[in-house]
Amino acid sequence: MIEIKDLHKSYKMGSNSLHVLKGINFKAEAGELVAIMGSSGSGKSTLLNILGMLDEADSGEYTLDGVPIKNLNETKAAKYRNKFLGFIFQSFNLINYKSALENVALPLYYQRIPRKERLAKSMKYLEMVGLKEWSHHLPNELSGGQKQRVAIARAMVGEPKVLLADELTGALDSTTSYEVMDLIQKINDQGNTILVVTHENDIAHMCKRIIHLKDGVIEKDEKVKQVRASQYV
- Binding region for another protein (CB under 8 A): 49, 52, 54-55, 74-75, 78-79, 81-83, 87, 89, 91, 93-95, 97-98, 102, 106-107, 109-112, 114-115, 154, 158
CA separation for the pair 104, 96 (Å, rounded): 12
CB 28 within 8 A of CB 51: no
Closest approach, Cβ 226 to another protein, in A, equals 28
Closest approach, Cβ 67 to another protein, in A, equals 15
Q: How many Cβ atoms sit within 10 Å of the Cβ of residue 45?
A: 17
Residue 29 or residue 97: which is nearer to another protein going by CB?
A: 97
Sheet holding 217-223, edge to edge: 85-88, 162-166, 193-198, 33-37, 209-214, 217-223
Residue 25 or residue 93: which is nearer to another protein going by CB?
A: 93
Residue 27 or residue 97: which is nearer to another protein going by CB?
A: 97
Closest approach, Cβ 26 to another protein, in A, equals 21
CA separation for the pair 2, 47 (Å, rounded): 12
Segments of 38-80 assigned E as strands? 59-64, 67-68
CA separation for the pair 7, 64 (Å, rounded): 14
Residue 48 or residue 210: which is nearer to another protein going by CB?
A: 48
Closest approach, Cβ 147 to another protein, in A, equals 13
Closest approach, Cβ 112 to another protein, in A, equals 8
Residue 89 or residue 232: which is nearer to another protein going by CB?
A: 89
Q: Which of 203, 182, 189 is nearest to 130 (CA)?
A: 182
> What DSSP string runs through 107-146?
HHHTTT--HHHHHHHHHHHHHHTT-GGGTTS-GGGS-HHH
Residue 116 or residue 225: which is nearer to another protein going by CB?
A: 116
Closest approach, Cβ 136 to another protein, in A, equals 13
